[in-house]
Amino acid sequence: MSKKYKYTTKEADKFNKHGIDLTIYGQDEPSANVCHVSVKKGHFQEFYDTKSAFTYYIIKGKGTFMLDDESVEVEATDLVVIPPNTRIHYFGTMEMALTVSPAWTAENERHVRFVDESESPYAKE
């Protein structure tokens, strides 16, 4: 069997989760997932992953990541590297590339809480 080198949008899983639109590439690749993330207001779920690091590259827009209750302002061309066991949620209008390594699995994700849109520093903009 030949190795798979290319993953297309047509093959990718696409869905909306807690305020973000996701396109997930390489669903069967255990080393990493690469996702396209589009967010208009925020990711309204605080969560953490027990095994995977999340690396976000901000393609367009600006926002605020909340990482273990620390506010991290981001804008286009910034890179945000989040180690395992770090609580994550974010606000803003952004287009991002996300790499999750090792690849995301449901059993490693822990839900902390749902986040109210009123918590966003952009809620009044």
Is residue 54 a contact partner of residue 32, using CB atoms and an 8 Å limit? no
pLDDT band at 125 (very low <50, low <70, confident <90, very high): low
Give tens-digit pLDDT for 39-66: 999 999 999 999 999 999 999 999 999 9
Instruction: Give me the pLDDT at residue 2, please.
Output: 73
* 45 part of a folded domain: yes
The verdict on residue 40 lying in a domain is yes
Full domain range(s) for residue 53: 24-77+87-96
Residue reference for tokens 């804008």: 75
Statement: residue 119 has pLDDT above 90: yes
- Report whether pLDDT(123) > 90: no
Assess if residue 116 is contained within a domain. no
Highest mean pLDDT among 17-21, 82-86, 103-107: 82-86
High-pLDDT (> 90) share of the chain, %: 86
Residue 64 is assigned to a structural domain of this protein: yes
In a domain, 28, yes or no: yes
Residue 9 lies in a domain: no
In a domain, 58, yes or no: yes
What is the rounded average pLDDT for all residues in the chain? 94
- From 57, 59, 109, select the one nearest 86 (Cα to Cα): 109
Number of domains in the chain: 1
Domain assignment of residue 49, yes or no: yes
Which pLDDT tens digit goes with each residue over 20-30? 999 999 888 88
